[in-house]
Amino acid sequence: MDFRLLQDTICAIATPVGEAGIGLIRTSGPGSLELARKIFKPRRPDLRLKSHTLHYGWIKDPVSGQLIDEVLLSFMAAPSTYTREDTVEINCHSGYAVLDRIVQLILANGVRLAEPGEFTRRAFLNGRIDLSQAEAVVEIIRSRSEQGLLLANRHLRGELRQVIETWRETLLQAQTTIEAYIDFTDDLSEEGEEEGPAYETLVSGLSDSVFTPLLSVLNSYDEGRVLREGLTIVLVGKPNTGKSSMLNALLGKDRAIVAAAPGTTRDVIEDSFLLSGVQVRILDTAGIRNRPDEIESFGIERTLRSVSEADVVLWLIDNSRQLTSEDMKVYEAVRDSRYLVLLNKSDLPSAFPIEKVQERFKGPAPIFRLSVKKQSDIDRLKTYMAETFIRRPLENCRSAIVPNLRQKVLLESARDALLRAFDLLRSGAYGELISFELESARTQFDAVLGWENDSDLLDRIFSQFCIGK
């Protein structure tokens, strides 16, 4: 997109095109007012198009004189507008023909169609919002849960920008201190050792005011992601332990085939349910066993792939039968994930005590004895999962700023640069090297806010928008 064209005027339909009560067409750019004067016929002929006011009248083709639609039109003078440019909004009837006719008329009067996201891109280029706020606009439009909306709104209000600006400022000050010292030592004659700047104070200052808060923003990423995108749970275990029964119980419907024969489920079965207002995607998988037939081994491969996608793995063990080497195989598949152990079939006599699981499979994972056949057990499991995987993260996120993936990657590089700077500071390295690392952390912060001019990046971000936003 060529942004030397920022001086031109753009237009787009801002509402979904189709039959509806009202359609909104908007323009942005210096030609907006002149356009409105050409194509709008106010009811009161002497009307001045006062800014930020709704005016009643008609859209009229200035060439043929034909009245096209009855509308409410507003003109908003720069800079108090979404884009910081002159803007016109036309509330008309919504239908394919009427919207199309008005847009055609606007295009015939020296205005061009906007690219996706171009209004928000102009708001960014004109300095009204930073890149994290522009991204928040997409997040708000896409939010499917109240929690996701809450997080996006904090970004839109510019909370991330505020903390990053303070961090930048602190880094700049530290850099100034270090560079002043470099200049100072350059001026020194060879006479003797001079005291360096108080390195320990610098490290602890940077650590308290930048590094620690940066880590807490990074830590909120995973929790925030679950709230925004939902939770993926994967059921695994050796054959016949009750995975498909658990899927059906959690969904409250007969989704997967349950049978006494081991090896019933051979492919991954997926469905979803709501837990505390968050969408949970749940996958039932083929049982992991030692000597699978060909189809089963394809299934097991898919099981392992699903485990790698999981936020939480539910590992089912049949408590009514002895543990075998197959359970060990499952353990190896899940041990690096976040998982819960479910000792199922507790309505039958247990073949081994619960301690045996702890002994055999070392790990801090919580263990539940339960029976899929008991509704109260299923409710207890759901309550535990809602509390642990949704409510607690939500509480943490209420006061946190949660970055998106792009921001997280940049913030991680900033964290690494700071860690290198700390090492250098402690080892008394050359000031230039330390200053370089601080600079590099600051560049990452600038990139989060979109302060370096990377038009590919902007294209990538704004292409996710819809037209008219």
**Residue ranges binding ligand GTP (CB under 6 A):** 237, 239-245, 258-260, 262-265, 287, 344-345, 347-348, 371-373
Find the part of the chain contacting Mg ion (CB under 5 A) among 104-112, 240-248, 275-283, 369-377: 240-248
- The Cα 105–Cα 126 span in angstroms is 27
In whole angstroms, how close is the CB of 365 to ligand GTP at the nearest point? 19
Nearer to ligand GTP, 106 or 286 (CB): 286
Distance CA 201, CA 425 (A): 10
Nearer to Mg ion, 245 or 346 (CB): 245
Handedness of CA 35, 40, 46, 52 (dihedral sign): negative
Instruction: Return the closest-CA partner of residue 8 out of 89, 111, 109, 81.
Output: 111
Nearer to ligand GTP, 16 or 353 (CB): 353
| Residue 240: contacted member of Mg ion, ligand GTP, none (CB under 5 to 8 Å, by partner type) | ligand GTP
Residue 337, contacted partner among Mg ion, ligand GTP, none, CB below 5-8 A by kind = none
Please, what is the end-to-end C-alpha distance for the chain in angstroms?
16
CB of 271 to ligand GTP, least distance (A): 14
Backbone angles phi, psi at 313, to 5 degrees: -105, 135
- 220 Cβ neighbours under 8 A, 6+ residues apart: 396, 397, 400, 401, 402, 403
* From the list Mg ion, ligand GTP, none, partner contacted by residue 228 (C-beta under 5 to 8 A by kind): none
The minimum distance between CB 291 and ligand GTP, in angstroms, equals: 14
Q: Are 242 and 265 in contact (CB under 8 A)?
A: no
265 binds Mg ion (CB under 5 A): yes
CB 60 within 8 A of CB 138: no
Nearest 5°: the CA angle 80, 83, 86 is 65
Nearer to Mg ion, 126 or 264 (CB): 264
Given ligand GTP, Mg ion, none, residue 91, with its beta carbon under 5 to 8 Å by kind, binds none
- φ, ψ (nearest 5 deg) of residue 90: -115, 115
For residue 100, the partner it binds in Mg ion, ligand GTP, none, with Cβ less than 5 to 8 A by kind, is: none
Residue 239 touches which of ligand GTP, Mg ion, none (CB < 5 to 8 A by kind)? Answer: ligand GTP
Q: Based on CB atoms, which residue is closest to ligand GTP, 297 or 464?
A: 297
- Shortest approach of ligand GTP to residue 262 CB, angstroms? 5
395 residue type, one letter: E
Coil/strand/helix, residue 350: coil
**Residues within window 243-262 making contact with Mg ion, judged by CB under 5 A:** 243-244
- In whole angstroms, what is the distance from residue 352 CA to residue 360 CA? 12
Write out the binding residues for Mg ion, residues 13-72 only, by CB under 5 A. Answer: none
The residue whose Cβ lies closest to ligand GTP is 287
CB of 140 to Mg ion, least distance (A): 40
Q: Which residue in 264, 320, 358, 443 binds Mg ion (CB under 5 A)?
A: 264
The CB-side HSE value for 225 (13 A sphere, CA atoms) comes to 14
Contacts (CB under 5 A) with Mg ion, residues 85-144: none
What is residue 113's DSSP assignment?
E
Q: How far is the CB of 372 from ligand GTP (least distance, A)?
A: 4
CB of 469 to Mg ion, least distance (A): 45
Minimum Å gap between C-beta 164 and ligand GTP is: 48
- What is the SS3 assignment for 250? helix
By a kind-dependent CB cut-off of 5 to 8 A, residue 344 interacts, out of ligand GTP, Mg ion, none, with ligand GTP
What is the distance between the alpha carbons of residues 287 and 304, in angstroms, rounded to a whole number?
10
Contact partners, residue 234, CB within 8 Å, separation at least 6 = 282, 283, 285, 306, 307, 309, 310, 312, 313, 314
Closest approach of ligand GTP to the CB of residue 401, in Å: 42
Give whichever of 220 and 244 is closer to Mg ion, judged by the CB atom: 244
Q: Which residues sit at the interface with Mg ion, rule CB under 5 A? A: 243-244, 264-265
